[in-house]
Amino acid sequence: MWVDFLEHWNGVGIFPDSQVSNPHDLRLFTDASGSLGYGRFLDGLGFQGHWLPEHTLINKRGISIEWQELFPIYLACFLWGPPGWGSVS
């Protein structure tokens, strides 16, 4: 899966610097469970959510654990990122 991703990646990333950050420097931690839900924690702020039935791995609707792991990262960026970052044009 990652080989295919890297071969087709357009080079656009959501992180502003090109250096890899240590999670302790960024203070962002996320995790996902295949059937239960997800959680995020950033610098003292945290929240969790439960998967909708169509987003669980049990239903086999094209949802992968990779998608589930990226979803809380996206939510954290949308909620805690710069104003307007997640807006849809």
* Residue 27 φ/ψ region, left for φ over 0, alpha for ψ in the -120 to 50 degree band, beta for the rest: left
What ranges make up the beta strands (E) of the chain? 28-32, 37-42, 45-50
Of the candidate ranges 11-15, 38-42, 76-80, the one whose mean pLDDT is the lowest: 11-15
pLDDT at 59 over 80: no
Q: How far is CA 18 from the centre of its chain?
A: 18
- What SS3 class is residue 1? coil
The pLDDT of 53-78, averaged and rounded, is 82
* 87 band by pLDDT with thresholds 50, 70 and 90: low
pLDDT at 3 over 70: yes
- What pLDDT score was predicted for residue 23? 59
Distance CA 70, CA 32 (A): 9
Q: What is the DSSP letter of 21?
A: P
* Residue 38 φ/ψ region, left for φ over 0, alpha for ψ in the -120 to 50 degree band, beta for the rest: beta
At a CB cut-off of 8 Å and minimum separation 6, what does 17 contact? none
